[in-house]
Structure 1
Amino acid sequence: MNDANRNGGIEFGTPKKVAPQPKLEFEEIEVGEVQSDGSAGPSKLARKLNNVFGVLLVALALASAIPAGSNVPIFWAFWSGMLFVMLAAHVAIMARIEPDRVLQVTRPRHRLAPLLCGVYLLWVLFQTLPIGLAAGLPGGGTPSSISVMADASLLGAIRQLGYLALFVLALEVAGRNDRVEFMTRLLFWGICLHALWAMVALRILGDIHWWGEKTAYQGVATGTFINRNNFAAFLGVGVVLGTAIVADLVNVPRVRKAGSTRNPRASLVEILVPVVGIALLIVTILATQSRMGLAAAFLGSVTVLGIMRVRQGRRAVLAAAEAFLVVVLVAMPLFALSGAGVLERSLDIGDEQNGRLVLWQQVLGMIGERPITGFGLDSFYPAFELFHRPPLTTALVWDYAHNSYLSLWLEAGILFGSLPIIAGAVLIWRSAVRAWQARTHFAVSAAGVGVGVLMLISSAVDFPLEIQANMFLFLLVMAIASADRRRRMDED
């Protein structure tokens, strides 16, 4: 027994010099449940399961862009089938691990958007029934169902069910901040790989598709897509995600583990690496020569930076101005180097713009013919051919309205066709609320708002969300941006 113990814990004599104690530091730890036999408890198993499914969802979203954006019916069915199996497997396994677990999609704050889409889907199926409610068509024909192509509408309904399955599953795996941030980074770098392939195919391999010679949009980057504008929208999502990642690294200190000498702020190298990825994406968008793709990516990035600056205490007007200036300063050198094609197209928009205006006028006329019932999901092409008139050129096949809002109203009617639009607005609002209310880890939610802005703008003059790969990407980002996060570290 030493002297201190013999004297009741008080040591007499010359006091010893005490080394200065380090400042108190905190470390986040995960508290997982452990069974009596030493095996992992339900929470830890659920966490591992959701980690796996989170990576699978990211891989599916990125892979779906490879076969021409999956804009082919066989791929609609393939990816939807995979999502049905994944969702069923996740629910079944989770039911055994945590029988009392409640699906996120059943919670009040997450019900509205899926419910609206479910009502829309029921109407799409109703349109295919042979019940004789269809109005007559030009030339005297009257189809047996509301949809002028019932088989195509049924196949499209499978695609829509796949979207719903992806959203429900993404909500389930988005319950942890670390997982959501990891998924966001995987998506960003995966989109960068798509951009890299696009530039290699354009500049080095002689402007080809991976499946063979290009027959459209020669001389511009299209990557694994057919249409340059849809590819630009895909890349724009990457720009918005990258902007959120960089803003988070610059503005938010990391949690430093006890005893670590690592700087709690991100290093310059850590910040510059995603900046290089963003530069690659912007250069590739410029190579697509998509004017709206560039503008939408610009506005989406400004939105993200503005939200991040407001969360730092800036006034909204000042935050928006700063965000605009930062994006301009980053983009202008790249535009000066690679933006000649976009500039030339911007100076010569007369014929193309007039063509779209005439197209939209004729589509509005079709909507007026069936404002309530519509013509059926995926029935635009055959229905439009019945109404297609000069001065709109007949030398081209118009299989899209080049305005997704008009397409929805034409196919499902104004009432039911507005439901997916409202559902998208709800998801953007949910992401904005979470970006505003969350104390930490709000960058991903800010990115969700930016991606929503990007797609809202792009959809007004084109059809990015009518391409399955883009819809997968959009829904995955919106789900992880709007999902609730667990507050306890032993939850998933």
Structure 2
Amino acid sequence: MRLRLPHIHWSWSLPAAFILYFVVAFAPFPFGSTNDLSIAFWCLCLGIAVMFAPTRNLRKPHLWLLAGIAIIVAGYAFVLHEQLSDHPWLAPFQPIWKQASDLLQMPIAPSASVVKNEAFFALGAPLANILAIILGITVGADRERARRILWVIAISGAAYALYGVASFLIEPTMILWRDKTAYLGSVTGTFINRNTAAAYFGSCAVIWILLILEDVRRRLPERHIEWRRLSLDLRAIPPSEILPQLSCLLICLMAMFMTTSRAGVGLSLLAMIVATTVFLRRDLPPRTGIFISLGSGIAVALGLLQLLGGQVSSRFDSQGLVDEGRVEAWKSTLRIIADNPWFGTGMGTFQWAFPPYRSSKISIRGVWDAAHSTPLELASEVGIPMALFIAAAWVVMLGLLARGMFGRRRDVIIPLAAAATATLSLLHSCLDFTLQVPGYSIPFFALFGAGLSQSFRTREGRPQPEAEVVEDRRDGRDRQANRGSHRSRELHKTV
């Protein structure tokens, strides 16, 4: 399997593409980019890239997507105004400021946020995600560049997985150049949290599986797979052309299992099973094929779980699916939402708003700086209306990606990979805070944008770019060569 890259000619859109590739590849590196300096740097890079964002390949559906993102930005701007302004239009002031003023017997300017100006400093991560998805749409409108985004995430993910496994075997008490203070028995790669690492390695494994399936499917001679001859056709593929990709997939799977994250491993395996079934759906038997594929995938996943995920299985046995403390934290967060339904407590203020609502059933050890459920934490910080607005945007995005993966025949793995990883990250974020870690969210929001951009078919009558013509001719020659080699084998067997 070779990544065929067309001859690159200079254009003003190239800086945007290369900056996006750079950010996508290196965002996970500095400890998941969770500190303010890293987030500011990625926002700067992405902002510069947006200035050079290509618009030549944008069509009407892409403009509608950008208009929808602009509406979300306007919603964020309104909430920020209410939380930062000394004279908000609608938001009530937090009662904590009057209580503090009465206790100190001095005037204190009130605010709609429990921590003044914290919303401004918490804006970095959402801004980076918005810039990443905008660049994913604009850069990903070109199919070759959309595929490069897919490859950059896959290759960089395999590299981080290899580092994670190697560093765990050589020096498990270090993350890059820092001492590792938690999860000493788990692989975390360059991330601090093992759950985020599991979701990242699992998402990269999903992409590798789809890339391998696409390449193998292209090499098969028939339009529909003949399962009786599948083993013979697979043996005809030169090992040197498929082993590197299989090795990268295995490395990502090893790193994912070695994180010992229950939800991360389980949801990643589910995403791989569903993505594989959707990709092969046209080649499966008409009635029972889907169920056979899902059942086979579950059997393989359980086998891998027993073979590579012994610690994950033991954690399921001893702790179940969700910790009791996490459930109590969710209940406490719901009480925060009930007391601040319209505009929340302020963006980035959860760790200060949580202590008065902390359940007595939660251990007094440690500080809860995250709700371990991104939707609940979002609603507690920005209010129910804005949270529902963002949830509606996710529903629209997943619907468009489903339209692309079921409606396209060519390059279907781009919207399919985006849909699979989006569903994985969304479900995992309901149990943890994966999408709140920029090292994970920035690369995959760029992929979501590319998937959305490639979810629409090319207009009829539109001239096909020269690169696509060359690619079609190469694919045609590959299929003809495969058919010829298959006929030669059949003739040889007959003789």
Query: Which TM-score bucket, shorter chain as reference?
Result: 0.7 to 0.9
* Distance in 1 (alpha carbons) for counterparts of 2:346 and 2:293: 46
Deviations 1:441-484 (A, max 9, x none): 11111111111120121011100001111110221111111104
Deviations 1:393-418 (A, max 9, x none): 22110000000110111011111112
The 5 A counterparts of 1:23-102 are 45-46=10-11, 49-50=12-13, 53-88=16-51, 90-91=52-53
Give the counterpart letter for 1:210 in structure 2: L
Give the counterpart letter for 1:140 in structure 2: Q
- Helix, strand or coil: the match of 1:224? coil
Describe the shift of the 1:80–1:305 C-alpha distance in structure 2 as closer, same or farther (beyond 3 A): same
**1:121–1:160 contact (8 Å) kept in structure 2:** no
**1:166–1:476 contact (8 Å) kept in structure 2:** yes
* Distance in 2 (alpha carbons) for counterparts of 1:343 and 1:482: 36
* Distance in 2 (alpha carbons) for counterparts of 1:50 and 1:275: 33
Describe the shift of the 1:45–1:466 C-alpha distance in structure 2 as closer, same or farther (beyond 3 A): same
Q: 1:387 aligns with which of 357, 362, 368?
A: 357
The 5 A counterparts of 1:256-271 are 267-271=238-242
TM-score by length of 1: 0.80
Is 1:202 the counterpart of 2:168 in the alignment?
yes
* Distance in 1 (alpha carbons) for counterparts of 2:149 and 2:450: 9
* Distance in 1 (alpha carbons) for counterparts of 2:39 and 2:291: 39
Give the counterpart letter for 2:63 in structure 1: R
Q: 2:374 aligns with which of 379, 383, 404?
A: 404
* Distance in 1 (alpha carbons) for counterparts of 2:295 and 2:117: 47
Structure 1 position 112, deviation (Å):
2.6
What is the match of residue 465 of structure 2? 489
* Distance in 2 (alpha carbons) for counterparts of 1:141 and 1:387: 18
Q: 2:347 aligns with which of 368, 377, 399?
A: 377
* Distance in 1 (alpha carbons) for counterparts of 2:407 and 2:415: 10
Give the counterpart letter for 1:473 in structure 2: P
The 5 A counterparts of 1:210-359 are 210-253=176-219, 267-312=238-283, 315=286, 318-319=289-290, 321-326=292-297, 328-329=299-300, 331-349=301-319, 353-359=323-329
* Distance in 2 (alpha carbons) for counterparts of 1:218 and 1:124: 39
* Distance in 1 (alpha carbons) for counterparts of 2:13 and 2:366: 47
Describe the shift of the 1:351–1:232 C-alpha distance in structure 2 as closer, same or farther (beyond 3 A): closer
Describe the shift of the 1:388–1:483 C-alpha distance in structure 2 as closer, same or farther (beyond 3 A): same
- Helix, strand or coil: the match of 2:280? helix
Deviations 1:310-350 (A, max 9, x none): 24465586325404514642x45543343121112111116
Give the counterpart letter for 2:168 in structure 1: L
Describe the shift of the 1:50–1:351 C-alpha distance in structure 2 as closer, same or farther (beyond 3 A): closer
Structure 1 position 106, deviation (Å):
5.8
Structure 1 position 241, deviation (Å):
0.7
What is the match of residue 141 of structure 2? 175
Deviations 1:158-181 (A, max 9, x none): 332232222212211112323322
- Helix, strand or coil: the match of 2:354? helix
Describe the shift of the 1:323–1:161 C-alpha distance in structure 2 as closer, same or farther (beyond 3 A): same
Describe the shift of the 1:73–1:104 C-alpha distance in structure 2 as closer, same or farther (beyond 3 A): farther
Superposed CA RMSD in Å reads 3.1
What is the match of residue 388 of structure 2? 418
What is the match of residue 108 of structure 1? 64
Structure 1 position 205, deviation (Å):
2.3
- Helix, strand or coil: the match of 2:426? helix
What is the match of residue 493 of structure 2? none
Is 1:441 the counterpart of 2:407 in the alignment?
no
Structure 1 position 351, deviation (Å):
11
What is the match of residue 19 of structure 1? none
Structure 1 position 218, deviation (Å):
0.9
Give the counterpart letter for 2:193 in structure 1: N
Describe the shift of the 1:73–1:409 C-alpha distance in structure 2 as closer, same or farther (beyond 3 A): same
* Distance in 1 (alpha carbons) for counterparts of 2:220 and 2:22: 27
Structure 1 position 65, deviation (Å):
1.0
TM-score by length of 2: 0.80
* Distance in 2 (alpha carbons) for counterparts of 1:416 and 1:128: 16
Give the counterpart letter for 2:99 in structure 1: G
Structure 1: state its 5+ residue gaps.
Answer: 1-27, 33-39, 256-262
Range with bigger deviation, 442-451 or 102-111: 102-111
What is the match of residue 134 of structure 1? 93
What is the match of residue 190 of structure 1? 156
**2:208–2:248 contact (8 Å) kept in structure 1:** yes
* Distance in 1 (alpha carbons) for counterparts of 2:60 and 2:166: 42
**1:228–1:288 contact (8 Å) kept in structure 2:** yes
What is the match of residue 457 of structure 1? 427
What is the match of residue 7 of structure 1? none
Q: 2:330 aligns with which of 353, 356, 360?
A: 360
- Helix, strand or coil: the match of 1:374? coil
**1:54–1:179 contact (8 Å) kept in structure 2:** yes
* Distance in 2 (alpha carbons) for counterparts of 1:451 and 1:462: 15
**1:117–1:423 contact (8 Å) kept in structure 2:** no
* Distance in 2 (alpha carbons) for counterparts of 1:55 and 1:356: 41
Structure 1 position 114, deviation (Å):
4.7
Structure 2: state its 5+ residue gaps.
Answer: 102-108, 222-233, 469-495
- Helix, strand or coil: the match of 2:241? helix
**2:85–2:111 contact (8 Å) kept in structure 1:** yes
Describe the shift of the 1:389–1:313 C-alpha distance in structure 2 as closer, same or farther (beyond 3 A): closer
Describe the shift of the 1:178–1:50 C-alpha distance in structure 2 as closer, same or farther (beyond 3 A): same
* Distance in 1 (alpha carbons) for counterparts of 2:24 and 2:249: 19
Give the counterpart letter for 2:352 in structure 1: P
Give the counterpart letter for 2:67 in structure 1: R
What is the match of residue 35 of structure 1? none
* Distance in 2 (alpha carbons) for counterparts of 1:288 and 1:404: 21
Range with bigger deviation, 361-370 or 172-181: 172-181
- Helix, strand or coil: the match of 1:418? helix
Deviations 1:204-263 (A, max 9, x none): 1243111222111111111111110011111111011112111211223599xxxxxxx9
Larger helix proportion of the pair: 2
